[in-house]
Structure 1
Amino acid sequence: MNTNLQEITAQPYHGIFLNDGRKFSNWGSSRSTQPAVYVEPISYADVQAIVRNTEQFPTPVRPVGSMLSVTETIANDGGTLLCTRKLDAILGLETDDQGRHVVRVQAGCRLKKLSLWLQQQGWEIPFQAEIGEATVGSVAVGDTKESSLDGPGYFSSHVVAILSIDENGSLQTLSDKQDAAAFYEFKCSFGLSGIVVECVIEVRRASLCRADVDLKVYDSPEALTNDLLRLRKGCDALLAVVILHQLACFVEQRYRAGAGNVTPVRSQPECEQYRIAKRLAIQRGFDGGSLPPSKGIVFSRHDFINEYWHPGETESRLDFQYYEHDIGRLEQVITESYRFTQAFQQKTGFAPTGWATYFVHRPERRFKPYGIYSCGPGISCSFDPIYCNPNDPLWQQFSKEYNRLAIDILGGNPSPIQTQWLRPGDVHIPRKLARSRFTTPYYQQFLV
């Protein structure tokens, strides 16, 4: 037994290995960490070697992808930061034993790369990602949101099997048909149960989307809410960016537009104009950005999965908070948020540049047992403040104070990877999902 263990721990590692004390930052340069070791494995065997060798790769081992999260989820001072970016192969389309069309892909593959590859084959994932640099492994076990035309509206709902490395360094496969409850729990684990190296994702034939975009102004938060609910009922999906302190909003009503995997020629100029404007507005945290009104543009959904350049520390760039609410509370959420924002602006002169509003369909509880979207069938909405400088002290103060309203009073459900300045008790992650080898101090505070 001891001989076997020695042989396992002596397994060689071949990927990038850095232990020179450098710091690593997230996309927005608002969070940084100084791990003892930074690694980029190039094979599943490399990941196994890392997990098994606690001396060379100190605990905790924290998997990361593109490091997009706005929170302290990347923080792992003195531990091992494991970046999956070299494990990014698309392994191919398959038909599983349930007759479903699926794509098999490695965890470090970016959503933009995967979507482009699928588009060229005439397929797509129903989830239309907003940020194309997000990696498959991160979103398979993390929190996402999308006002989806089809399906629940969060990425992990389309993942039907996961290959991961457990705390002993062993490969394990979990699937919805073979492992049921254990599989659904794993998808709620934020990488604390094991390091994802491969995913199997359900796909369907590519389809087109039609969108109407408009700017609206209201005389009260109640009127704004009522119109958002009306507009949502009149389309297949609705995305809104609310400029709350001005009682205005950009609304994007989405409609199904039939089969197809290429934006029609007649829509391409207007579509590209809107895509670029939307990309720049998001990149800059809506700092001076605007979305041109458009009506009836038809496009391939892949075209609106954008990638964003890594901003300099003085550039305007997106930062945000996230809260899940039931749609039945939307009027209270918007009304109370408006009052809070007005009071904060009167006191400090500060207001967020916008508030992102998404609508997500919740599944049965057994399919999403923990975290956001875990309250059983229904419709969730988000109302998320956005700003253009994550390091602005007034934005940070606003976020900290608004947390108490959104979570404590409005009952909002926050995310450890999308909601900043959380306190212990704001998020509850079942202790049974966490393995000590993978649990950083940031996540330790949320275990119950």
Structure 2
Amino acid sequence: MALRETRSRGADHYGTRQHPQRVVRPRNQDEIAKILADARAHPSPVRSVGADYSLTRCASSDAGTSLNTGALDKILDFDDGCVRVQAGVRVGTLVRALAERGLELPLTPEVGNMSVGALAVTTLPQASYQEGLAQMASCVTEMKLITPQGRQITVTERDRDLMRVLRSSHGLLGVVHEVVLRIETLKPVKIDYQNYSLAEFALRYAKILAQPAALRLHIAPFSERVTVERRIVDHEASVSRSGIWQIRNSVMRNVLPAFGTSVGSVLATPGLRAAVLTGVHRALNATQSRASRGVVMHAHEWMRDLPSEAWKARHTYSVWAFAQADFPSLLQSYSAFCRAYYKKYRYRCHLVTGASRLHRDRNSLFSPSHAGDMVTLEPSSTGEQGFEDFLIDFNEFASAAGGKPTFNQTRALTTEHVSKAFGERARLFGALRRRTDPLNRLRNSYFAQLLD
């Protein structure tokens, strides 16, 4: 069957512009190898793209070749404790197929649109239950990929060091076409919420961390409130969902982003707009404890799929991770930063800031929690005007506070941020990449700036 090839159509899901000369859709690994071996027909850089859900230009192919893995969309095999899938399978599709068999991944992402190939080689931190399992790539036990020279290789966990590098290689060392992931029996998860002022949160922080739960935080910096969402595995519990929780969940996922967009476009006065947003956030906080009573569900049920059209999603964000021990004081500083920024520029994010507790995870070279337990901070937006400028200043704040970014979920990243956060790890990876791909077949301008 002939290789499908088209001209570029422009932007990815989040509006990051792409201008490749060629867009190719290989149907098997042999076609991938031919693409990489023929630089004249398929100019460099060749960048593998799954679902175009990265928040940065990490998958941008500049004026080169965009290699879309969407045709590699088969779940190949369910084996004892693992599942083998092609790289183009959407994570949401895989998670639902596993649930039908009473199975799940050790971690379940908040959003299911990304491809399994992207999951395997990028940094996707998730609220974690245990050490060594704080990002989606840590679920990967085997990868099959095509090197920049067109050679196929298979890497397993027996190649521990190489696997650690590949799990955060972002397609710079080869094009992944097949992945094996760990799976386990589906477990009921109890969900509950506790709402605190920032001062109360600091006093109770040690006790909150001591609980055997995955922690997701919802932060309102202008109200100085934080809601702690606990996800507690309970093997004995029966699945149940309160009606008010389902309504509230729908509001948080769908209505609030749309409302934030409307507020931003209709209310031109910054002070009035800010007052309305603060009132809505307070009303949602007031319903949380009642909404979560008796909620027990399976992990795949809180995962959502964003619309295929970018403008319908009304949700974007940026991720940094910070030392867990210092997080309460960091939240106070973040609240003060947001207030100072608003006072100077009359801008505030329309959505609450998210956060996840990450246990130490050294299974990936660029893991945000490589050195120890961390908590993320994720300013979120409906994509309104002013958010990108806000992130430039927020990045300086985060870097100065010792934060760790990601290459695929931290927007407006600079070389200085990368050097400070990753130091020797970034230099080692850059040297390995140059040895593996001396002709820069897979390197785009984004990584040339940040790593080379």
TM surpasses 0.5: yes
SS at match of 2:192: strand
Instruction: Give, in whole Å, the separation in 2 of the partners of 1:433 and 1:14.
Output: 34
Query: Could you tell me which residue of structure 1 aligns to residue 12 of structure 2?
Result: 26
Query: Could you tell me which residue of structure 1 aligns to residue 365 of structure 2?
Result: 369
Query: Could you tell me which residue of structure 2 aligns to residue 7 of structure 1?
Result: none
1:65-106 CA deviation, whole Å, 9 max, x = no partner? Answer: 1111121223222100111111111111123xxxxx111011
1:130-168 CA deviation, whole Å, 9 max, x = no partner? Answer: 110111110111011211335622111110110001011
Query: Could you tell me which residue of structure 2 aligns to residue 36 of structure 1?
Result: 21
Instruction: Give, in whole Å, the separation in 2 of the partners of 1:285 and 1:90.
Output: 38
Instruction: Give, in whole Å, the separation in 2 of the partners of 1:417 and 1:192.
Output: 13
Q: 1:161 aligns with which of 130, 142, 147?
A: 142
The reply to whether residue 241 of structure 1 matches residue 218 of structure 2 is: yes
Paired residues of 2:242 and 2:293 also in contact (CA < 8 A): no
1:27-176 pair list within 5 angstroms: 27-29=13-15, 31-95=16-80, 101-150=81-130, 152-176=133-157
SS at match of 2:148: coil
Q: 1:192 aligns with which of 147, 154, 172?
A: 172
Query: Could you tell me which residue of structure 2 aligns to residue 17 of structure 1?
Result: 5
Paired residues of 2:62 and 2:444 also in contact (CA < 8 A): no
1:221-260 pair list within 5 angstroms: 221-227=198-204, 229-258=206-235
1:203-218 pair list within 5 angstroms: 203-214=183-194, 216-218=195-197
Query: Could you tell me which residue of structure 1 aligns to residue 389 of structure 2?
Result: 397
Paired residues of 2:58 and 2:170 also in contact (CA < 8 A): no
Instruction: Give, in whole Å, the separation in 2 of the partners of 1:121 and 1:285.
Output: 38
Instruction: Give, in whole Å, the separation in 2 of the partners of 1:134 and 1:88.
Output: 12
Percent identity of paired positions between Structure 1 and Structure 2: 21
The amino acid of 1:239's aligned partner reads R
Q: CA deviation at 1:418?
A: 0.9
Q: CA deviation at 1:270?
A: 5.3
1:191-243 CA deviation, whole Å, 9 max, x = no partner? Answer: 101111111111111111010135x352xx44344445543434512111101
Q: Which runs of 5+ in 1 are unaligned?
A: 1-12, 96-100
Paired residues of 1:166 and 1:195 also in contact (CA < 8 A): yes
Paired residues of 2:45 and 2:62 also in contact (CA < 8 A): no
Q: CA deviation at 1:269?
A: 4.4
- Structure 2 vs 1, CA of residues 295 and 268 (structure 1 numbering), >3 Å: closer, same or farther? closer
Query: Could you tell me which residue of structure 2 aligns to residue 334 of structure 1?
Result: 331
Query: Could you tell me which residue of structure 2 aligns to residue 445 of structure 1?
Result: 449
The amino acid of 2:379's aligned partner reads P
The amino acid of 2:56's aligned partner reads T
SS at match of 1:191: coil
Q: CA deviation at 1:358?
A: 0.4
- Structure 2 vs 1, CA of residues 316 and 202 (structure 1 numbering), >3 Å: closer, same or farther? closer
Query: Could you tell me which residue of structure 1 aligns to residue 251 of structure 2?
Result: 277
Query: Could you tell me which residue of structure 1 aligns to residue 355 of structure 2?
Result: 357
Higher strand content, 1 or 2:
1
SS at match of 1:117: helix
Instruction: Give, in whole Å, the separation in 2 of the partners of 1:42 and 1:168.
Output: 19
The reply to whether residue 302 of structure 1 matches residue 287 of structure 2 is: no
Paired residues of 2:72 and 2:89 also in contact (CA < 8 A): yes
Number of residue pairs the alignment of both structures matches: 413
- Structure 2 vs 1, CA of residues 115 and 213 (structure 1 numbering), >3 Å: closer, same or farther? same
SS at match of 1:277: helix
SS at match of 2:416: coil
SS at match of 2:222: helix
Q: 2:319 aligns with which of 322, 326, 334?
A: 322
The reply to whether residue 267 of structure 1 matches residue 264 of structure 2 is: no
Paired residues of 1:40 and 1:86 also in contact (CA < 8 A): yes
Q: CA deviation at 1:268?
A: 6.7
The amino acid of 2:117's aligned partner reads G
Paired residues of 1:17 and 1:39 also in contact (CA < 8 A): yes
Instruction: Give, in whole Å, the separation in 1 of the partners of 2:382 and 2:301.
Output: 24
SS at match of 2:32: helix
Q: CA deviation at 1:275?
A: 4.2
Instruction: Give, in whole Å, the separation in 2 of the partners of 1:246 and 1:336.
Output: 14
Higher helix content, 1 or 2:
2
TM-score, normalization: structure 1?
0.86
- Structure 2 vs 1, CA of residues 400 and 368 (structure 1 numbering), >3 Å: closer, same or farther? same
Instruction: Give, in whole Å, the separation in 2 of the partners of 1:426 and 1:281.
Output: 35
The reply to whether residue 385 of structure 1 matches residue 370 of structure 2 is: no
- Structure 2 vs 1, CA of residues 346 and 185 (structure 1 numbering), >3 Å: closer, same or farther? same
1:175-186 pair list within 5 angstroms: 175-177=156-158, 179-186=159-166
Instruction: Give, in whole Å, the separation in 2 of the partners of 1:147 and 1:282.
Output: 22
Instruction: Give, in whole Å, the separation in 2 of the partners of 1:332 and 1:39.
Output: 49
CA RMSD, 1 decimal: 2.4
SS at match of 1:74: coil
Paired residues of 2:137 and 2:364 also in contact (CA < 8 A): no
Query: Could you tell me which residue of structure 2 aligns to residue 9 of structure 1?
Result: none
SS at match of 1:258: coil
Which stretch of structure 1 is more off in the superposition, 37-46 or 246-255?
246-255
- Structure 2 vs 1, CA of residues 427 and 331 (structure 1 numbering), >3 Å: closer, same or farther? same
